[in-house]
Amino acid sequence: MKIRNYPSVAETLYSEVLPNGLTIRVVPKPNFNRTFAVFATDYGGADRRFSLGGEWIDTPAGIAHYLEHKMFDTKDGNALNVLAANGASPNAFTGTDMTAYYFESTSRFEENLKMLLEFVSVPYFTEESVEKERGIIGQEIGMVEDSPDFQVYIRLMQALYRNSPVRCSVAGTVDSIAQITSQSLYDCHKAFYAPSNMALAVVGKVHPEQVVEIASAILPKEKAPKPVVDFGAPEDLLPVTHRTEVAMEVSAPQFMIGAKVAPQLSGTPRLHQKHVGTLAMNALFGRSSHFYAKLYGKNILSPDFEIDFDYAANTSTLFLAGQSNNPDAVLEEVLAAADNVRRNGLDREKFERLKNATLGSLIFGLEEFESLAVDLAGSAFYNYNVMDTFTQRADVSMEECEAFIAENLTAEKLAMSVVVPGGA
């Protein structure tokens, strides 16, 4: 195994790539009594058109999420029940570009890990069980579509992106999931759930060699080819429309402001860009910023204001979101703050203080086993290691953050989605 020490945070990462292509990453935590394991595939809601063996296949929106629901079925019952009976807390999620199955436990780790690898790698469902799930997922879709949080987000993505599948809900629609069959689910599992397209990450009280031994014994030995995914025609950096609005049953307007950013697709450049974007957004709009203090003091922003810089399906997007009685005033202040940086730059003393504070937050996050394990698995799909954050974050310069703000926070590139009171 490869061993990488991070003395500044007193952590060690063990990694291995098996002959079948599976990436394994383990961060032992001998002083803790719990362990978190995640088995993830580089497959999510945006991976709808793909080629395997030269043949292009189109699948309905929501099929990755549908498959996640059905993967807990086994010949002997349900894997969730078995893991829970073993004292584990299991679950799963489907994102835009990743599906992950996981558990946390304080005992019987080896038994639980074997179960996780077995049920995820061997699908078992029938046409009848697939049909039964259709109604359950349909109800879930209905509840999601009735959520203001979902509507303000998905409408922003549709305002920003013309072609990318990130415009669509990961769960799909009632109409799209009506096209899913047991055979299409098996086909997608065969394409995307091969070890060569997956990663296993474990954080906690565990021996790394034990994880490698279990995975080597249970998973297929051969290395299958990875599918090639088509995310649609290339996007420019301008939105389709600058504003979208819908009325719903909300007590106050909700808004989300966003812009497309030219993404670094993999490796160290991707991790570096993520650091630059995250620090730039926090320097300009974070809780300690002049922007937030001013708007919160004027009661224009509520305390639930959030900022993010996210990657998915060959896209990267910056977000600002929250509640405001005057979303247009928020947008004006966003543009004014960015323009001020273009003219005057950032405050260097405050910037360095922010870098130290965010690094402290990241160190604290090492005790959040779930997020660390998910990040370890997810970063493997893009050829970098999230633990390198602790050696690379210090390399981000204030000038890079200023350039990020100047380039991406412009009136031409920003779009805003608003949910206003008044829906029935």
Instruction: Answer whether residue 342 shows pLDDT above 80.
Output: yes
- Average pLDDT score, the chain: 95
Instruction: Answer whether residue 338 shows pLDDT above 90.
Output: yes
Question: Can you tell me the distance from the alpha carbon of 27 to that of 40, in angstroms, rounded to the nearest whole number?
Answer: 16
**Burial class for 234, CB neighbours closer than 10 Å (0-12, 13-18, 19+):** exposed
Which pLDDT score, from 0 to 100, does residue 44 have? Answer: 97
Instruction: Answer whether residue 423 shows pLDDT above 70.
Output: no
- Mean pLDDT value across residues 153-161: 98
Quick check: 97 and 270 in contact, CB under 8 A?
no
Question: What number of H helices and E strands is found in the chain?
Answer: 15, 17
Question: Can you tell me the distance from the alpha carbon of 56 to that of 75, in angstroms, rounded to the nearest whole number?
Answer: 31
CB atoms within 10 A of CB 393: 18
- Taking CB atoms within 8 Å and a gap of at least 24, the contacts of 264-267 are 264/316, 265/314, 265/382, 266/382, 266/383, 266/384, 267/382, 267/383, 267/384
Residue in this structure with the two tokens 């077995």, named with its chain if needed: 118
Q: Do the bridges between strand 77-78 and strand 2-6 make them parallel or antiparallel, or are there none, so unpaired?
A: unpaired
Query: What strands, in cross-sheet order, belong to the sheet with 306-312?
Result: 243-248, 415-421, 254-261, 315-323, 306-312
Spatial neighbors of 280 by CB under 8 A, at least 6 apart, are 400, 401, 402, 404, 405
Query: What strands, in cross-sheet order, belong to the sheet with 2-6?
Result: 2-6, 11-17, 23-28, 198-204, 35-41, 99-105, 89-94
Instruction: Answer whether residue 424 shows pLDDT above 70.
Output: no
Rounded to 10 degrees, what is the CA torsion of 376, 380, 381, 383? 140
Which pLDDT score, from 0 to 100, does residue 418 have? Answer: 98
**Token digits for 231?**
């995310």
Spatial neighbors of 356 by CB under 8 A, at least 6 apart, are none
Question: Can you tell me the distance from the alpha carbon of 240 to that of 263, in angstroms, rounded to the nearest whole number?
Answer: 18
Q: What is the pLDDT of residues 236-250, one digit of tens each?
A: 999 999 999 999 999
Residue in this structure with the two tokens 């001020």, named with its chain if needed: 340
Least confident of 249-263, 298-312, 346-360: 346-360
Instruction: Give the distance, in angstroms, between the CA of residue 224 and the centroid of all CA atoms in the same chain.
Output: 25
Least confident of 40-44, 218-222, 252-256, 355-359: 355-359
Would you place residue 8 in the very low, low, confident or very high pLDDT band (cuts 50, 70, 90)?
confident
Q: What is the pLDDT of residues 51-74, one digit of tens each?
A: 988 889 999 999 999 999 999 998
Instruction: Answer whether residue 356 shows pLDDT above 90.
Output: no
Coil, strand or helix at 201: strand
- Mean pLDDT value across residues 17-33: 96
CB atoms within 10 A of CB 117: 22
Would you place residue 122 in the very low, low, confident or very high pLDDT band (cuts 50, 70, 90)?
very high
From residue 247, alpha-carbon distances to 119, 140, 185, 418 in Å are 43, 21, 36, 8
Question: Can you tell me the distance from the alpha carbon of 68 to that of 177, in angstroms, rounded to the nearest whole number?
Answer: 13
Please list the active-site residues: 68
Question: Can you tell me the distance from the alpha carbon of 153 to that of 322, in angstroms, rounded to the nearest whole number?
Answer: 11
